[in-house]
């Protein structure tokens, strides 16, 4: 069986809660319309813990990432199930953009 993944560049956001001494991180992103998607790391090309850590770090640093994902609709709304991530270099906004 072959699975086809989509690729998209996103800016992840992280919301952390601390309950009973356990810290939980919720990941999301907003794309196009704007439409908000919940992000769910899934086992695949990278370990779940590594995907979670990369997304959290990029969210903290306002850094874009390229993701490999599939879209799903859950009872909590639209979701991107992420199987791989690649942080992109931060853009230097002080330099003129090349055409």
Q: Tell me the fold of 6-87.
A: OB fold (Dihydrolipoamide Acetyltransferase, E2P) (2.40.50)
- Please report the pLDDT score of residue 99 as a whole number: 56
Query: CA 62, CA 29: separation in Å to the nearest integer?
Result: 12
User: Per the structure block, which two tokens stand in for 2?
Assistant: 């072959």
Domain limits, the chain = 6-87
pTM for this prediction: 0.69
- Please report the pLDDT score of residue 2 as a whole number: 61
Distance between terminal CA atoms of the chain? Answer: 41
Interval 40-97: pLDDT, tens: 999 988 999 999 999 999 999 989 999 999 999 989 888 999 999 999 988 776 766 6
- Decide: 25 and 12 in contact? Cβ < 8 Å: no
Residue reference for tokens 């055409």: 99
């Amino acid at each position: 069986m072959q699975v086809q993944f989509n690729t998209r560049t996103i800016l992840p956001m992280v919301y952390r809660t601390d309950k009973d001494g356990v810290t939980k991180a919720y990941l999301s992103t907003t794309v196009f319309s704007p439409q908000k998607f919940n992000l769910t790391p899934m086992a695949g090309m990278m370990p779940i813990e590594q995907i979670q850590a990369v997304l959290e770090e990029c969210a903290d640093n306002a850094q874009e990432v390229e993701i490999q994902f599939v879209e799903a609709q859950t009872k909590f709304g639209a979701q991107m199930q992420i199987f791989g991530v690649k942080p992109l270099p931060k853009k230097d906004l002080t330099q003129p953009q090349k055409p």
